[in-house]
Amino acid sequence: MSLKKQYLKSKPKCKVTFRLSSQAAKKAKDVHIVGDFNNWSKAAMPMKRLKDGAYVVTLDLDTGKEYQYRYLIDEDTWENDWDADKYVPSLFGGCENSVVIV
């Protein structure tokens, strides 16, 4: 997994590429990224499967903010981003959310 950030010079936005490794995806049929940027919708942002089995999506996020998120694998399994900027306790159950800081 990795986060790639590209800050735009023309506006206060950052293109963030989220990548879930094939190791973490474990032969998933589909993966969605779910977080503050899409009101935690489980269906709003499907990720694209790459040839190596990893999943990727790029989002334009407002700078100066922190966004909590997680990966939802096959509508059943939640996974954190191993390369997140930090982690915070989730309001649901004994787990943590990943955080990207832009």
Q: Where are the domains of the chain?
A: 2-101
Is 80 exceeded by the pLDDT of residue 93? no
Please state the length of the chain: 102
Domain 2-101: CATH superfamily is Immunoglobulins (2.60.40.10)
The whole-number average pLDDT for the span 51-71 is 96
Threshold 0.85, pTM exceeds? yes
pLDDT in tens, 38-53: 999 999 999 999 999 9
| Residue 27, pLDDT score | 87
Query: Are the C-beta atoms of 36 and 42 separated by less than 8 Å?
Result: no
| Residue 33, pLDDT score | 97
Three-class SS state of 38: helix
